[in-house]
Structure 1
Amino acid sequence: MQQDNLYYTDATKLAELILTKQVSPVEVVKAHLDRIDAVDPKVNAIVTMADGAIAAAKKAEAAVMAGDTLGPLHGVPFTVKDSIDTAGVLTQRGSPIFKGRVPDTDATAVARVKAAGGILIAKTNPPEFATSIETDNLLTGQTNNPWNLDYTPGGSSGGESAAIAAGMSPLGIGSDLSISTRGPAAHTGIVGLKATHGRVPLTGHWPRAPRRLWHIGPMARSVRDVALAYSIIAGPDGADGFSTVPPTIDLGGLQIRPLRVGWIADNGFFGPIDPEVAATAKAAAQALASIGAEVEEVDLPLLRDTDTVSVLWQLHQMEAGPGFRKAVAGHEDLVFRHAKLVLDGAETPIADFVAHEQTVERLRDEFASYFQRYDVLLAPVTPFPATKHGLNDVIVDGKAWSPFQVMNGTSPFSLTGLPAMTLRFGTSHNGLPIGVQVVSSWYAESTMFDAAARLESVSQVRNLHPAL
């Protein structure tokens, strides 16, 4: 195959081509390494190359030729966000404070992808401490959106999303606190997943606090790739106390009736919504209706009226602040603006902390009631497409808003632990991807994947790859 066909082929297909000896793992890995050399100087998504990728590919090729039993990702390259540990490969967490840090062991998710035959080729750029809506830091710099280099890919898995969108990797492992797989995926036109909280062990990720909000999740260019990766990395590891439910327990499954879809758009979340984003969500709902789903616009008053970004931020301040202060002690001069926002922010009064916890409980109740009536919720991912670099106010319908409002559509599902995934379904007037978000009930990932795959099958989006 032509190299460009290889680096824009999804992981599932690459595994099939390798299994059937149509391509060699060496060809596949080399195509992606060459792509990194060609385009990463513009994008700056890659922070460290993993030694031994070609040697691992040769070993994988030998296994194919010997007729060995192969894993579902045998010979397929993958990348990992640099807040997630990789044995023997630099994991510097986007900070000079951790410059030169090399873990001894892989994070659970990384170890499982390797065990399935995946070949680690590189680590990708996060913001400092994986805590920002943009991806830049003092150690490895700013990552650019491959669709327009003047724009951000979002954060905190922005390096991962940019690498996948630009063909540098077919599959990646990111992490998500309030937006960090789903937002960057939407900004760069790929697929990102935050499964039910605890489905994927967080072992080997930093920061861990607040661990009840952090998630590790796969990112790719197709729904089927994300579903495959999820099936590999999900399940307890005996180390993460939040990860206790076996992946075989899934409360979704095939429907013997039409899929029931509720959707929200311009009046669904607290804060602003760009008209193009709202129109994309509506178009996605209409597309599902056209293929037989029962679709209805819904109103969730508590969701609409709750500033979940502020709730999440104040819970985060209370729990993450001590760990951040410990990490930077004696190195305050090496702290960039993202960690400073946490370090300089006021501690959350305990009365406010308790009140926010009760707000989260009420949100969970509202969603529990909702999912008695509907199988999935269809919604925007971010209230506006990717923005230019720099934490500046965003203008929506003539009014200025904080850029942190970008998390309005994702924070509710982080706070409540619901599974949510994003995929591209539209394009802005200036050529940037617009995504939609599919949410299912807790532990009903199969229903979410089903709805997302249906949407993907009827998407009218063209020009799926950036011109770099």
Structure 2
Amino acid sequence: MVTTDLNYLDATEIAELIRAGRVSSVEVVQAHLDRIETVNPKTNAVVTLAEGALDAARAADEQLAAGAEVGPLHGVPVTVKDSFDTAGVATQRGSPIFAGRIPDTDATAVARLKQAGAILLAKTNLPEFSYWIESDNLLTGRTNNPWDLERSSGGSSGGESAAIAAGMSPLGLGSDLSISLRGPAADTGIVALKATHGRVPMTGVWPREPRLDWHAGPMARTIRDLALAYSLLAGPDGADGFSDVPRELDTGLGPAPDRPVRVGWLVDSGLGPVDPEVAATVQAAAETLQAAGAQVESVTIPAMERDNPLEIFTRQHVMEMKPSVREVTAGHEDQMFTYSKTLLGSPDTPIEDYVQAKEGIERLRDAFTAYFQRYDLLLLPVTTIPAHAHGLEKITLAGQTLDPFHVSSTTVPFNLTGLPALSMRFGTTHDGLPIGVQLVANWHAESTILHVATQLESMSPVRDQHPAI
């Protein structure tokens, strides 16, 4: 097997090959280190290599040769967004304020991948404190999209998405406040899962505010890798108070539904204008599912027209994020990047507006509760536009000039409500960029998403396409 083959195999197949003795962990890790050396100068996706990855690979090969019982990711390299603590490996959070910071312990999610046999290969880039739609900061710079280096790979898990898309890693960890797993995945043509809020503990991931909106989750190139990683990551850890659902509840693909899946799809319904190519891709995915036997129909969700989720999020996050940003940047004002300056310079949210935002979230939860009495799944865009140029200052769609954060109007509702959502590629723009679709299910119904995503992946017109970088 040649090195280039190894760089685009998924984690599941790599693990199978290692267990079968057809390839060694050392070969796999070295292939990915070589790929990082070749590609990372162009993308700047990887910011820190984990020392000892090759030693860990040698140990993994020795354990296998000795007949040891091994985990499902034994000897497989993984990468991790630089907001997750990694024992003995720098976790700098995209800011000079944390330059050289080396944690003593792993974040729970990192520890669980290691317990399954995975080998930490590298840390990946992010915006300052994970708070923006593009991965750029004063400490480690800007990440470029491997499909077009003049475009963003998204934020805040943009380094992770670029690394996986470009063959530097088969599997990784990201986090998601409003778009940060799903948007970067859509921008680079990979897959990502934001599970139900609390299913994957946030212990050892920073920042944590606002606690009710942050999620951690897996990123990969195949749905089966997402399912495998999710089965390893899900469940309480005794430290994160929001991670309190029994571990045995719906932690993988599970049995297939015994009836046609009921799917509603939309491209608007209060979300604002969407790029025509993005809208067409969502419709194509809906038609594909219908042809495969699903019960599919166009829907609206009136609650999102009454209580615009993006406006709610904006009112809420200014109130909840400013205190922690102000605290961590005190005395380091010269080391603040664009977003922190903008946030701290914005007016405080009046308490009346904050309470109204919380009430709006409650109405959205009620609306989705009713929706999922009738449907198993919601299909909609991941982002309102495909991967954008660096330094986005405004979006122009349907004759409207919009704030750059409009890119996330289609993902924010599911952070506010904590619903599980998955991003996967299903189309291509006229100039060759990936277009994603988003699948959303009821709380704790991750297996529904994974089943439908697996089916959609098998019929995708863009399977096994990789950037020519």
TM-score interval (norm. to shorter): over 0.9
Name the CA distance, whole Å, in 2 between partners of 1:117 and 1:462: 28
Counterpart secondary structure, 1:421:
strand
CA shift, 1:341, in A, is: 2.1
1:339-354 alignment, distance < 5 Å = 339-354=340-355
Name the CA distance, whole Å, in 2 between partners of 1:462 and 1:370: 31
1:60-459 alignment, distance < 5 Å = 60-250=60-250, 254-265=256-267, 267-459=268-460
Counterpart secondary structure, 1:149:
strand
Counterpart secondary structure, 1:117:
coil
**TM-score normalized by structure 2?**
0.98
CA shift, 1:271, in A, is: 1.4
* Cα gap change, 1:45 to 1:316, in 2 (>3 Å): same
Name the CA distance, whole Å, in 2 between partners of 1:299 and 1:328: 42
Counterpart secondary structure, 2:371:
helix
* Cα gap change, 1:463 to 1:394, in 2 (>3 Å): farther
Name the CA distance, whole Å, in 1 between partners of 2:269 and 2:292: 24
Write the deviation string for residues 277-331 of structure 1: whole angstroms up to 9, x where unpaired.
0000000001111111111111111224533122112211111111111100000
Contact 2:88 2:104 in 1 (8 A): yes
CA shift, 1:409, in A, is: 0.3
CA shift, 1:443, in A, is: 0.5
Write the deviation string for residues 106-138 of structure 1: whole angstroms up to 9, x where unpaired.
000000000000000100001000000011000
When structure 1 is superposed on structure 2, of 368-377 and 396-405 the one drifting more is 396-405
Contact 1:231 1:247 in 2 (8 A): no
Which consecutive segments of 4 or more residues in structure 1 shift more than 4 A?
none
* Cα gap change, 1:261 to 1:67, in 2 (>3 Å): same
* Cα gap change, 1:239 to 1:316, in 2 (>3 Å): same
CA shift, 1:396, in A, is: 1.9
Name the CA distance, whole Å, in 2 between partners of 1:360 and 1:387: 29
Name the CA distance, whole Å, in 2 between partners of 1:121 and 1:78: 6
When structure 1 is superposed on structure 2, of 304-313 and 250-259 the one drifting more is 250-259
Contact 1:269 1:408 in 2 (8 A): no
Contact 2:457 2:463 in 1 (8 A): no
CA shift, 1:11, in A, is: 0.3
When structure 1 is superposed on structure 2, of 132-141 and 292-301 the one drifting more is 292-301
CA shift, 1:463, in A, is: 6.3
Name the CA distance, whole Å, in 2 between partners of 1:45 and 1:269: 34
The one-letter code matched in structure 1 to 2:134 is E
Name the CA distance, whole Å, in 1 between partners of 2:79 and 2:409: 28
Contact 2:181 2:217 in 1 (8 A): yes
* Cα gap change, 1:328 to 1:256, in 2 (>3 Å): same
When structure 1 is superposed on structure 2, of 42-51 and 395-404 the one drifting more is 395-404
Unaligned runs of 5+ in 2: none
Contact 1:270 1:305 in 2 (8 A): no
Counterpart secondary structure, 1:129:
helix
Counterpart of 2:467 in structure 1 is: 466
**TM-score normalized by structure 1?**
0.98
1:27-46 alignment, distance < 5 Å = 27-46=27-46
Contact 2:92 2:98 in 1 (8 A): yes
Name the CA distance, whole Å, in 1 between partners of 2:311 and 2:158: 22
Query: Percent identical across equivalent pairs?
Result: 61
Measured on the aligned residues, the alpha-carbon RMSD in Å equals 1.2
Write the deviation string for residues 390-442 of structure 1: whole angstroms up to 9, x where unpaired.
12212223432221100100000000000001000000111110000000000
Name the CA distance, whole Å, in 2 between partners of 1:339 and 1:15: 41
CA shift, 1:462, in A, is: 5.2
Name the CA distance, whole Å, in 2 between partners of 1:310 and 1:67: 57
CA shift, 1:269, in A, is: 3.9
